[in-house]
C-alpha cells in the first residue's frame, strides 16, 4: 500500500460522472482508445486511455463512468487527453471500469 494522504489532499482530486458520447481507436496504436466524454453543462472533453485490449469502442458509447477532471492534460500518440477514466485493475488481463450503479446526471460529483 502507498502512504496515507490527508482528506485535504483527497479533496483536490475532482471526480465526476460522465457519459462516453463517441469512441474510436487511435491510429497507430493497438491499446489506445480516444473517447469524447460529456461532463454535463454542455462540456465535452477528450480522454485517451489504454482500453483497446479490453473494450471495443462500441462497448463504451452511451455508458457512464467516473472520470478525474483536474489532471494536467497529457499527449498520447499525438492525442490530447484532458480527463482520466477510472478503472480497477486486478492484473494485466482483467480490468473493470468504475461506474455508477444507476443513471445519474453527467457532471455529478464523486466523493
**For the segment 45-56, what is each residue's pLDDT rounded down to a tens digit?**
999 999 999 999
Reported pTM = 0.94
Domains and CATH numbers, the chain: 7-110 (2.40.50.140)
Across the range 67-87, mean pLDDT stands at 98
Count of beta carbons in the 10 Å neighbourhood of residue 23: 22
What pLDDT sits at residue 1? Answer: 64
CA distances from 47 to 4, 7, 24, 53, 70 (A): 28, 26, 11, 16, 12
Can you tell me the distance from the alpha carbon of 37 to that of 43, in angstroms, rounded to the nearest whole number?
Answer: 8
Amino acid at each position: 500500500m502507498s502512504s496515507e494522504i490527508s482528506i485535504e489532499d483527497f479533496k483536490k482530486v475532482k471526480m465526476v460522472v460522465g457519459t462516453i458520447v463517441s469512441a474510436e481507436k487511435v491510429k497507430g496504436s493497438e491499446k489506445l482508445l480516444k473517447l469524447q466524454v460529456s461532463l454535463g453543462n454542455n462540456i465535452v472533453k477528450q480522454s485517451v486511455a489504454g482500453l483497446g485490449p479490453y473494450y471495443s469502442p462500441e462497448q463504451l458509447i452511451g455508458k457512464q463512468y467516473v472520470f478525474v477532471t483536474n489532471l494536467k492534460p497529457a499527449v498520447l500518440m499525438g492525442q490530447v487527453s484532458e480527463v482520466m477514466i477510472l478503472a480497477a485493475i486486478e492484473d494485466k488481463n482483467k480490468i473493470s471500469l468504475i461506474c455508477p450503479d444507476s443513471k445519474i446526471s453527467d457532471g455529478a460529483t464523486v466523493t
